[in-house]
Amino acid sequence: MKYYPINLDVRNKNCLIAGGGAVGTRKALTLLQCGANVTIVSPEVSEKLEKLALSGDVKLVRRGYAPGDLKGMFLAISASDNRTVNQMVYEDAVSCNVLCNVADIPDACHFTLPSVITRGDLTITISSSGKSPALSRKLRIELEKIFGKEYAECLQLMGAIRTKLLKKSHDPDNHRHLFRNILDKGLVEMIKYNNIQAVNELLFDVFGKGYTWELLMNTKQGN
């Protein structure tokens, strides 16, 4: 394994993408979904990026990449079809201590971008360490068939239970066997087939009164 697996918090972080084509557009959309402040540097951009710039969702600098563009940036992605530009972005990132990814050039990357499956707050990633994006994509498609929306609902329920327990000053170390218990007893399958009565019976057996699907799924976590 070449890369250290990590989930990066980019909320409100300044991120730059050099290149406004199809690849740059995909990278921009993912960063926006994760709450980043996105700047696009490119003389030409896709129609989608044009619309995002007009709405103020991204900042568009309509010219080629230039030295100094990474000042104040947290992360950089070079999605240009110009190898000279890609190399320039990488070298600038190294000198500025900015995290950098150059599309399709693993040796010019501080990190790779895995194939991603999202189900609510659940994120599943597949990485080939840059060796075969095609294999990562194939695995993603296969796993998407296995992990349905029931996993998003299960995670939401588990998070609500954990929040409720913590409010009672419950020791987090004592949560583990409780959560393992409800999962081992088929919680995900109950949710998948919308058997809410079985879910409530299971929650009562494990946690007691006050733990029901209706109550927990309508509770904002953290409140």
User: Which of these three, 67, 88, 113, is where a domain ends?
Assistant: 113
User: Are residue 164 and residue 108 in the same domain, yes or no?
Assistant: no
Do 179 and 157 contact (CB within 8 A), yes or no? no
* Structural domain of 45: 14-113
Please give the tally of structural domains in the chain: 2
User: Are residue 103 and residue 54 in the same domain, yes or no?
Assistant: yes
Q: What is the pLDDT of residue 223?
A: 43
How much of the chain exceeds pLDDT 70, in percent? 96
Q: What is the pLDDT of residue 222?
A: 42
User: Are residue 159 and residue 104 in the same domain, yes or no?
Assistant: no
pTM of this structure: 0.79
Give every residue of the chain whose pLDDT is below 70, as ranges.
1, 169-170, 219-223
User: Are residue 29 and residue 107 in the same domain, yes or no?
Assistant: yes
In a domain, 64, yes or no: yes
In a domain, 172, yes or no: yes
Note the pLDDT tens digit of each residue in 127-173.
988 888 899 999 999 999 999 999 999 999 999 999 999 888 667 77
Neighbouring CB atoms inside 10 A of 42's CB total 22
In a domain, 222, yes or no: no
Supply the DSSP string of the chain, one letter for each residue: --S-------TT-EEEEEEESHHHHHHHHHHHHTT-EEEEEEEEE-HHHHHHHHTTSEEEE-S---TTTTTT-SEEEE--S-HHHHHHHHHHHHHHT-EEEETT-GGG-SS---EEEEETTEEEEE--TTS-HHHHHHHHHHHHHHS-HHHHHHHHHHHHHHHHHHHTT--GGGTHHHHHHHHHTTHHHHHHTT-HHHHHHHHHHHH-TT--HHHHHTSPTT-
In a domain, 200, yes or no: yes
In a domain, 137, yes or no: no
In a domain, 65, yes or no: yes
Phi, psi of 59 (to 5 degrees): -95, 130
User: Are residue 153 and residue 108 in the same domain, yes or no?
Assistant: no
Q: What is the pLDDT of residue 1?
A: 63
Q: Which amino acid is at 166?
A: L
User: Which of these three, 113, 128, 159, is where a domain ends?
Assistant: 113
